[in-house]
Structure 1
Amino acid sequence: MSLNLLRLPPLNALKAFHAAVRHGSIRSAADELLVTPQAVSQQIKLLEDTLQVVLFERRGRTIEPTETAVLLARYVDAGFEELAEGVRRVTTKKYQDRITLNVSPYFATRYLMLQLEGFRESVPNSDLRMTTMVDTPDFKRDDIDVAVQWGFGDWPDLEVNLLIKDHKVICCTPELAEQVKSPEDLAQHRLLHPVLQNSLWSDIFDFLQVGSADSTSELAFHDAATMRRATMAGLGIGLISRVDAERDIRSGDLVAPLGVDILYDMPADQVPGFYLVLPKAHRRVSGVANFCNWVTSQDWEKTLE
């Protein structure tokens, strides 16, 4: 249905509803909007009458959103976010052409930096600003337009596109490898894993059909580079990205005691990867859209060949 045929509710009614849902309180919503609680209640009643639905169950001084309200709140929140982004873009000159990108440090150094000049050539007037951060940014607070994050693709309410899978190889020092002859031997050693996804080893143990390891023997690291150095130092058995593992095995620094390909056929949803992540509204900006189109069109598997 087009906007010409659909009569949208008054903006003030949507603002009152949005505030009430977030705060779970009419009074708190009124404080935020600098109006009286009665005014907020009237706007919510107007919205309910306009939509012909019940949005809140009133229980004394408290309110409980109905299932309909929870659903509507998702779209109203997304709508206000897109409005705010549009106002920011058109009223602040420095944001109109700038693309602020956050990239997982590993993807930045191993992949993106090797190809970034290609983007600048394809979009010569782009003003690209890049930061590196392991954690997923708060796009509003951190003023980020688009991100490339490591994980399993589970970022609700964001646009997500897989760029490349990050297949892992079980690695350790040659000395430690003498004690790892079968998957069952893994449970007898300290296991190294990333802080962001501590389910990797449990998924691997399920895939290899062996009993779980003692969690007290695990050691977590914030980034892949530190975990790789810890593996080389003999602190335990690490999960190393395939491109690094093959290089370290060739140099003799590490060994894959159970074989390089033992994890290659794990279920796809248990294999981490690097994903393009951004709020859907951000792609409406031409510069951001240009970067998204470029980064998703690259064959990242061939970057390091």
Structure 2
Amino acid sequence: MNRYKSLQQFLNPHFKGDNYQLAAITGDASFRRYFRVNAGDESYIVMDSDPSKLDNTPYVELNKVFSEHGFKLPKILQADEKQGFFLLSDLGNTHLADLLGDEDRILHYKHLIKLSAQWAQIPPAQHMKVFDNDFLQFELSIFTDWLITEFLQLSVSVTQYQLWQQACQILIGNALAQPVVTVHRDFHSRNIMRTGHQWAIIDYQDAVQGPVCYDLVSLLRDCYFQLPKEELNDLLDYAFAEFNAEGLIAETSFSEFKQWFDLTGVQRHLKAAGIFCRLKLRDGKSGYLTNILPTLHYICDVSKEYPALIELSHWIEDHIIPLTEQRLRQEIR
């Protein structure tokens, strides 16, 4: 309540005594809160990002970087960085997630593959961390810490620990073998918006220098929407040609590219499954529980195609998924 009052005090000078209405916008998977501000015929977004919980410097600085390179992002109209309040331009209500039933879905994806290839070519900038071995180890630990240990309350056997470590080394090696580019990190249907005739990108503050296939995985193997297999295969062919044309994957065969894509997906989905559990247990956000099982099935389906990951697939399919189903049934009661 105190922050809400402070937020109003932040907004009052901007509107100079004019009436305005605040309406909460739900669905963000972080500590940030968003509100739509309506004042007469104008609308804005206000972001509440408590600096005691989040470092807002990357949000501000990377906004400049990506905007200067021609990408459509929310404009920061007014900011109180000390308190963590930001008044932003309103990009509307239409996300890619709202357009996935369109007959133009494939065309949307092709445009966004091109956009991701352009994003990848942005030069490294301050506040972009590097996806190195330690970073990847930490991301993978989110799965064991939050899904295995905290959500399922499981102890891992020596054999399971060994197969997990072997799988991690394969996934880390796959990530580090790829060309390093600028990666949004969450380039999926809920972070891509359609505003007018443009695609706009939000939630860009965690951008890193990382594997060339990472954003493509976020887009085509979205945790919130599963593309039909034929469409996925066609779009992967399209992405291979586009990335080649842009010079991102010189002298790379399609089979190598597909392996990069697949194993990057396994790594990302392991992290995501752990994050969905963390959102419930740490942050009290239950809305992501329904995404856990589809994400685990993604991991199994892809891992089965690679002999080195067969044991990981069996462990998750035979042990982790049934226990997760049981725990989720308890949550629903």
Q: TM-score, normalised by structure 1?
A: 0.25
Q: Which has the larger radius of gyration?
A: 1
Higher normalized helix content (fraction of residues)? 2
Name the TM-score, length of structure 2 as normaliser.
Answer: 0.24
